[in-house]
Amino acid sequence: MATEKLQGITRRRFLSGMLTASAGAVIGSSLLAPRTAMAATDAKSTFSGDVIHGSHWGAFRAKVENGIWIDTVAFENDPHPTAMLSAVREVVYNPSRVKYPMVRLDWLKHGWKSDTTQRGDNRFVRVPWSQALDFFHHELERVQNTYGPSALYAGHSGWQSCGKLNTAGTIMQRAISLHGTYLAKIGDYSTGSAQVVLPYVAGAMEVYEQQTSWPLVLENAKNIVIWGSDPIKNLQVGWLIPDHSVYGYYQQLADKVKSGEINVIHVDPVKSQSYKFFGGKQVPVNPQTDVPLMLAIAHTLYTEKLYDEQFLADYTTGFDQFVPYLTGEKDGVAKTPEWAEKICGIPADEIRELARTMASGRTQIIAGWCLQRMQHGEQYAWMIVVLAAMLGQIGLPGGGFGFGWHYNDAGTITSAGPLMSGFSSVTGVEPIHQGSYNGYSTYIPVARFVDCIENPGKTIQFNGHSVKFPHMKMAIFCGNNPFHHHQDRNRMIEAWRKLETVVSVEHQWTATCRFADIVLPATTTYERNDIEQFGNHSNKGIIAMKQIVEPMFESKDDFDIFRELCTRFDREEAFTGGKTKMEWIEEIYNGARLQGRGIGVRMPNFVKFWEEEQFVSFPEGSEWVRHAAFRKEPDLEPLGTATGLIEIYCKTIADMGYDDCQGHPMWFEKVERSHGGPKSNKFPLHMQSCHPNYRLHSQLCSSDDFRGTYAVQDREPVYISTADAKARGIVSGDIVRVFNDRGQVLAGAVVTDDYKSGVCRIEEGAWYAPLEGGKPGTLCTYGDPNVLTVDIGTSKLAQATSAHTALVEIEKYTGPIPSVTGFSGPTEIDDVNPLFPAMDIA
């Protein structure tokens, strides 16, 4: 078969290129170039001046001298820029850059038959771009022809890249969809359970929606209940480019709290940044017991007749089927404040007072996402809606509920300007391969993808359907890092060995790259041109994202990587649509410009915008109230539920017959829970792993200098209460071991009075840095909390992540202190003997 073709790749070409790469691999110091290294091509590297750009942390102007980015200045139209902007320059220059196309050593020798237990050991060989893409294409062909589309997992995604053109996941899926169909994912890690249950209950996903305009809330609300949310911390970042104007409203709220005009209540075991900024009262509920607290509030509202009977009659359905559970008629357990006190730790009289306060005037409930990321997280989201419905203020300014207040500048007034579209993953061109899925599902819930790898052929229940796990053989990850956002890292490492080939397209040498077989270096957003919306829900305008520096080393734009891949199966024209990157950017802009004409918003032509103005602002829009149309005309503006009403009892869910998510919200015990719950005798501390203060998930963790501003002895901080630290002989600055039956990490102790006893926190996004790469159970030297989290579905309804169901113990670390691994490229690269046995690619 030496000269026989395999879909356009000859064996001779495949092997000769591989041998050339082996013989000519530039190994050693070139892979460890300093962060100030210049780009591989310096033809344009003499530019000096200011360059406008944007990021998930805000817009800015980069100061460039002789082609080197030396400083970052916040955009003049951002009134409250985040300190994280100082870390974005490091993304280009840090030692974790993926510099060259790399192939894992044993995979280079043996291809898909490699020893997968070596994944994670960080031994890679540099290969030419052409050969790396040949490998990529060959594996696509092999998997499609051998197993079919169910074996190729290409739908995984994380946060998008800023920019309407260069969205990594979209570009990847466009190219792979031209080659063949594949196994896709459904849902996400951020809001996995809420986004499934809320459409049944409230008619929409709710979690990503715009909220009532803050001026109306500030004018009309008497009480604001912030339930498990920390908007002051979380709104530093945005899905697009945040304008941070929402912080102006937050200052007004803090002033009103100080003057006594508005009460703010924080239901949270931690004194959050929002608590410190706004002031108000804390209700330090025991972790994972918010639903018993909510049920007791509902019980008080019901028994003291503080609820709005007319609203329930006009706008909801199923309250009469919920009441027997609430009163105990159904199960013999009345959900009284006394019952809840024993579980949630809040005195019964305080629960009653909280219920009365919420019923005393206009009350806005601000619900966070962390609490739906625990086992049975659907129940929390459902009960938030039930409480708001009982109060009867849904659709009124300053009343009701919202799940998106801490996301995307929510509550700012949306402008009257157009919205830009973006590069699409859909081309309308049929893929080359459209094989059979052989009875397996075409999608999997994203948080169950390790289950899928581990248990091929298993059938699970999900949202009223049966999902049969296929035999996953190949996985492609582009611009996302599952070795950050998935749970139970050691279980994941074991399951990962079942994959034959893993491809990662990335600009930082993440743990996902270390556990990949083919690693392709992408540019950062700062090394390419693009265009984006300034302001998320606010849509303040359009900003040019102009290339700041030339691409570093051998990195390429995602667009070019996948365009070149498509040339290997004759789909380049379909992928590019016959346009260059700048032509796409101009078309995206002109689409918004045309839309603007229709609504009376004038925009300059593209050349003037790009070369001169570089930012177009839109006129301010109108204030808005969430659910107001439904409240005003429920018959003409029904919700998207089966009945068109808020469903306190949902027959659709009830008919699914799930034992862990029934027809109305309920309290279910967790597999592990602190403060006297299951497993708390062995592991007494509840570990929160909520959104970080100094990163966007795992992004910016590799910015060494910025990481040094918050790390403790080079480790991720673990926040622990003063009482718990004293009981363990721990003081701030100590290196501690955080552990449970699932794994162990080192972290740096920060002792604080802000945390309730029995609660600790390691913020998610801390990079996985194993002491022994690729070995399950090894110590994580930096502090990845997902070494410790549990990997079970929230329920059969959503099958979402239960990351916030996690107990740990902490002890002062007394062993030899290892160096932190994880923040550089490959650490060991062996020369490859060009005479090794030929890889069998047949």
Query: What is the tens place of the pLDDT at every residue in 600-630?
Result: 999 999 999 999 999 999 999 999 999 999 9
Q: How far apart are CA 725 and CA 543, in angstroms?
A: 48
Q: Which residues contact residue 375 at a Cβ distance below 8 angstroms, ignoring those fewer than 6 apart?
A: 288, 668, 670, 671, 790, 792, 794, 795, 802, 805
Residue 1 clears pLDDT 60, i.e. is over it: no
What tens digit of pLDDT does each residue of 92-149 get?
A: 999 999 999 999 999 999 999 999 999 999 999 999 999 999 999 999 999 999 999 9
Q: Is the predicted pLDDT of residue 322 greater than 60, yes or no?
A: yes
Q: What is the mean pLDDT of residues 283-299?
A: 98
The SS3 call for residue 726 is helix
> DSSP code of 810?
E
Q: Where are the alpha helices (DSSP H) in 335-488?
A: 337-344, 348-359, 377-391, 449-454, 482-485
Judge if 224 and 183 occupy the same domain. Answer: no
Confidence (pLDDT) at 841: 39
Decide the pairing of beta strands 281-283 and 263-267. Answer: parallel
Q: What is the mean pLDDT of residues 156-161?
A: 81
Q: Do 388 and 512 belong together in one domain?
A: no
Per-residue pLDDT at 46? 83
Judged against a pLDDT cut of 60, whether residue 27 lies above it is answered with: no
> What digits encode the pLDDT tens for the residues 408-422?
999 999 999 999 999
Q: What is the pLDDT of residue 832?
A: 53
- Give me the domain span that covers residue 748: 685-812
What pLDDT, in 10s, does the model give residues 186-244?
999 999 999 999 999 999 999 999 999 999 999 999 999 999 999 999 999 999 999 99
Considering the domain architecture, whether residues 745 and 700 belong to the same structural domain is answered as: yes
261 contact partners, CB below 8 Å, separation of at least 6: none
Beta-bridged to residue 712, according to DSSP, are 715
Residue 639 in domain: yes
Same domain, 389 and 240: yes
CB 683 within 8 A of CB 294: no
Tell me, what amino acid is at 791? D
How many helices (H) and strands (E) are present in the chain, helices listed first?
28, 31
Last residue of a domain, one of 578, 611, 638: 578
Judged on CB neighbours under 10 Å (0-12, 13-18, 19+), 26 is exposed
Predicted confidence at residue 24, as pLDDT, reads 30
- Do 212 and 158 lie in a common domain? no
* CATH number of the domain enclosing 106: 3.40.50.740
Q: In this model, does residue 16 exceed pLDDT 50?
A: no
Same domain membership, residue 384 and residue 252: yes
Q: Which of 492, 376, 481 is nearest to 805 (CA)?
A: 376
Query: What's the CATH number where 341 sits?
Result: 3.40.228.10
Question: What is the C-alpha separation between 536 and 243, in angstroms, rounded?
Answer: 8
Residue 542 lies in a domain: no
Q: Which pair of structure tokens corresponds to residue 321?
A: 């089927």
- Written as six digits, the tokens of 695 are 């990163």
Q: Which DSSP helix (H) or strand (E) runs through 723?
A: helix 722-727
Q: Is residue 606 part of a domain?
A: no
Strand-by-strand arrangement of the 518-521 sheet? 124-126, 102-104, 518-521, 501-506, 474-478, 152-153
Q: Which pLDDT belongs to residue 829?
A: 67
> 831 falls in which pLDDT band (50, 70, 90)?
low
Residues 284 and 172 placed together within one structural domain of the fold: no
Given a cut of 60, whether residue 32 has pLDDT beyond it is no
5 band by pLDDT with thresholds 50, 70 and 90: very low
Same domain, 439 and 526: yes
Looking at the structure, tell me whether residues 636 and 503 fall in a common domain.
no
> Is residue 176 in some structural domain?
yes
How many folded domains does the chain comprise?
3
As a whole number, the mean pLDDT across the chain is 93
Quick check: is 788 in a domain?
A: yes
Q: Which of 634, 654, 674 is the last residue of a domain?
A: 654
CATH number of the structural domain spanning residue 735: 2.40.40.20
Percentage of the chain beyond pLDDT 70 is 93
Helix runs in 599-715, H state only? 606-608, 628-632, 651-654, 704-707
Residues 763 and 709 in one domain: yes
**In the prediction, which pLDDT does 406 show?**
96
Residue 812 is which amino acid?
K
Q: What is the pLDDT of residues 653-680, one digit of tens each?
A: 999 999 999 999 999 999 999 999 999 9
On whether residue 429 sits in a domain, the answer given is: no
The answer on pLDDT for 48 being more than 80 is yes
837: pLDDT strictly greater than 90: no
What CA–CA distance (Å, rounded) separates 595 from 613?
19
In a domain, 594, yes or no: no
786 lies in some domain? yes
Q: What is the mean pLDDT of residues 385-406?
A: 98
Q: Give the whole-angstrom CA distance, residue 385 versus residue 390.
A: 9
pLDDT confidence of residue 828: 57
Q: Is 709 exposed, middle or buried (0-12, 13-18, 19+ CB in 10 A)?
A: exposed
pLDDT at 813 over 80: yes
pLDDT per residue as tens digits for the range 491-544: 999 999 999 999 999 999 999 999 999 999 999 999 999 999 999 999 999 999
Where residue 3 falls among pLDDT bands split at 50, 70, 90?
Answer: very low
Alpha-helical segments (H) within 230-318: 231-234, 246-259, 273-278, 290-303, 309-315
Which residue is listed with tokens 């899928």? 452
Based on the fold, state whether residues 279 and 401 are members of the same structural domain: yes
Contact 792, 671 (CB under 8 A): yes
Percentage of the chain beyond pLDDT 90 is 91
Q: Which of 198, 230, 531, 250 is nearest to 377 (CA)?
A: 198
State how far the alpha carbon of 162 is from the alpha carbons of 6, 155, 247, 407, 757, in Å.
Answer: 37, 19, 22, 16, 40
pLDDT at residue 156, as a whole number: 85
382 & 528 share domain: no
Look-up of token digits 């912030």: 226
